[in-house]
Amino acid sequence: MPQENNEKDMERLVKDYQLTQEQLRLYSIQLEQFKAQKAELERAKEELGTASGKVYISVGGVIVETTKEKAVSDVADRLELSDTRIAAATKQYNELRSREKTLSEKITEIYKSSKPG
């Protein structure tokens, strides 16, 4: 009977482990996307810092003229949102990494305890 429980536990843990790995992969991709967006916004901020004359922004696929001040404010707001997204995704990623480690340790423990000898 203990052997059956170990097999069921192992099966459940392996499924949880695989799901956790897939979630980690997705969060990793998402983090890279957020970081790329932030880098793009940082470049826009630099360009705005040296811009003189007319400034244009893209709004819903349409490019419109705006003031430099509004553009700077918009980029700053988007950078702040980007930082928030990166922090939240990083936190979730780290929690998943911890869960992955715990599951791996439990799987190893059950595997070792079920081996004869």
58 versus 46: which is more confidently predicted? 46
Amino acid identity, position 23 = Q
Q: Which residues pair with 31 in a beta bridge?
A: none
pLDDT at residue 48, rounded to an integer: 92
Range of the domain at 88: 2-114
pLDDT at residue 103, rounded to an integer: 96
Q: What is the number of structural domains in the chain?
A: 1
Looking up residue 29, the CATH number of its domain turns out to be: 1.10.287.370
Pairing outcome for strands 55-59 and 62-66: antiparallel
Within 13 Å and on the Cβ side, how many CA atoms surround 40?
Answer: 8
pLDDT band at 13 (very low <50, low <70, confident <90, very high): very high
- Indicate the average pLDDT of the chain: 91
pLDDT at residue 4, rounded to an integer: 67
Query: Could you tell me the pTM of the whole model?
Result: 0.81
Please give the backbone phi and psi of residue 91, each rounded to the nearest 5 degrees, phi first.
Answer: -60, -50
